Every structure is written in structure tokens, then in C-alpha cells.
Chain A
Amino acid sequence: MIENATLIKQGAEARIHTAPFLTRTAIVKERFSKAYRHPILDKKLTARRVNQEARCLFKCRKSGVDAPALYFVDTEDSTIYMEFVRGTIVKDLLVTNSEYIQNKGKQDELAKKIGIALAKVHEIDIIHGDLTTSNLMLRESNQSLVVIDFGLSYISSLPEDKAVDLYVLERAFLSTHPNSEEMFTEILDNYQKTYNASQWVLSKLAEDYGDEREVWNVQCGTQGKVIHRASMFKLNEEVTLASTIMSSSRSYNTKVFYGPPKCEPERSEEIIEKGCDMEYWSDPVGVKKIER
């Protein structure tokens, strides 16, 4: 067991403590076992995930990405000891710090740091897996941007995976921080400047998520995975206009409307009929034909 530990957070899969480690204070992330899982499976999964997280943390530090320093990995107790970063979480900065809420210069400066940090993470083929503003911090001592919580991270060089990472961050940004589109554009700008292979990622982002992103932008505030085609909603005129602008210019600066669009039930009927590649009419003659 961890000595002199103070529990600071309990998630679905792990408990986060602070505890002294040698001469310093450390964050101790302890993955606990799940009662519903078979013990063998549980042990193996937990061990795999602890390893993966530690590996990603280490790789980040080695490549110059500011992430918590890895102190010690205890595979027996499934715990990772890492640096206790003193600083502020980006989400709190954007929600409570008036300097950041009002000052565009401050926002751009922060966005630049985020873009560069993400570019570095993706450059070494690490996919964070849970990029939200709660998992980004500003270090108190030197105002450097720290990426934290690599619990869902893995290594992949596919542009698709990196695009998903950016998409998740965009969703997190727009749903928790209203009027942050400009900031996100700034993030992508700096990401592009820093990361050489960014074109593949950004084109994937536009091509795979273009449709979803419009809908998301239009109806953000709703959490979760939204796999709607834009056409599924009968949008009111304003919103339709906004999404047309968005789709034509692919610009993030256009006005985004919050709140759900007006949906009308009979519209989905139409889409079902148009949107499917196979349509069955109850045609008795046709059905007979395929009989033996």
C-alpha cells in the first residue's frame, strides 16, 4: 500500500493520490481491480494499461514534450508514481480567470502553446486518447504547457488516429468553452506550423469529420458521440445558413449557433428513405421471384 497517501480523485478505473516519494511529493495513480472481471483477465488488462501509460509518459519526456516526469512504476500494485505538477488546469483558466476570458492576446498565447505541444506529442506517434481542456495544465514555475493523464494513450502513426485526437479536443473545447472557435483555429494553425506531417492529419480531420463537425458545432452542448448526418435535421434558416458557410469555407471563424437545432420528426422519415442504399418495398411479386 501507498504510505502517507492522500486521495485526491477517484475515477472509473483509477484512484489518484498524492504521496511523498523520496524527497518529493508525487502523484500516485493506482488502477484498481474490477470485481466483475475474471481475476486472470483483470490482472492482465491492468498490467497492460499501466505499462502503456508509463511508456507513453516516458516517451513524451524523452522527446521534450512537457509531461509529468515518471518516477516509479509498481507493476505488482498497478501504481505509477509521477511528478506532482504545480500549476493550473487549462479548463479552470478559461472558465474562471478573467484575464484569459477577456484578453485575446492571452488566449492566443495559450492556444499557441497547446498547438505546439500537441504537434510534439503527435510527432512521436503518441495518441493521447482523451484530449480535453481538463487534461492540459500550465506549469506555475515557467508557464510551460503540460499534457497530463495518458491513461487512454497508445502509440500509432496513422493520421486517422491523430485526427480523432484533434476532433475530440475540438468537441471538448466547443462544448465546455463557448466562443472558443477562434482559439481552436489558433491551435490548429500552430499545430500545422510545428508538425511537418500535419497536412495528412488535418485533411483527415476535414474529410472524415467534416459533416459531423458541422452538426456538432451547430448543436454543441450535447455531450457524447454524435453520428448524425447534417441533413438529418431540418434546421431552421439561420442554422442552415451557418452550416452552409461552414461547409463552403471550412473556416472556424464563422458564427456558431448554440443549442439544439429544431428537429422535426417527419424529416427523419425522408432521410431514411433517401439515405439507405437498399430499400425494400413490400412487393409480393418481387418476393416470390427469389424463392427456390
Chain B
Amino acid sequence: MSTLILRTASNYLLPVLLVFSIFILLRGHYLPGGGFVGGLIAAIAFVLHAFANGLDDTKNLLRFHPGFLMPVGLALAFFSGLSPIFVDQAFMTGLWFPEPFPVIGNVGSALFFDIGVYLVVIGVTLTIIFTISESA
């Protein structure tokens, strides 16, 4: 399946798709999108790259096992939920910066929670697909 066209295209598609996935992640609070879909799109980007260039290439590109994204994401989601505790609010109360940031928009604890979901979904999907394709 590693044709020249696909291989060349995938090198350009990977960053585009990743940026797209982040776009989807960030717009999730106002428009269709969010961490779950964003994570799936990012995972698809890597899988496409792996199809074109072989699994080892993608792994080298990643430098670390995608499984490590799972604890990182879980921790991020957990601590974003925990953060209101420090300002005497209940667990998982939404906290927001008063002014919106340029490009990103409003930033709050829910965004970090969503980033956590995003990372976990990438980690889970890639771990499962990489493991299965290695053993198939």
C-alpha cells in the first residue's frame, strides 16, 4: 500500500491533519468538535502516516510510545478538575480567565479537561492500533 504518491502526500498531510485536529479541539466549546473527535482525527493522521511509510517510521517520528499520552492526559484532566479545590470551589467547577485570549478564545479549566481527553484518545487509539498491527 506504500505507493509513492501516498508516501509523499502523507508527509504533508500529517502536519495539516494535526493542526486540523487541534482546531477541532479548540472550537469544540462553541461549535461542533471537541477533544474526543480531535483526538480521533489526530490518531487517524498518525495511522495514515504509518500506512504510507511503515509503522517503524511513524514510531521514530513520535519518539515515545503513544501509550505515555494516556497517563499524561488522565493526569491533565484530573488536575483540571481538581484546580477549583485550591480556590475553595467544589471539584470540577469550571474556572475561566476573565479575558479571552487571541486566536484561542476563552480559556478555562474545561479546556484543559478537553485537552486531557484529546491526549487520552490519541494514546488509546494509537496504542491499540499499533499493538494490533505489530502482532498481526
Same complex origin of A and B: no
User: Which residues of B does A touch, CB under 8 Å?
Assistant: none
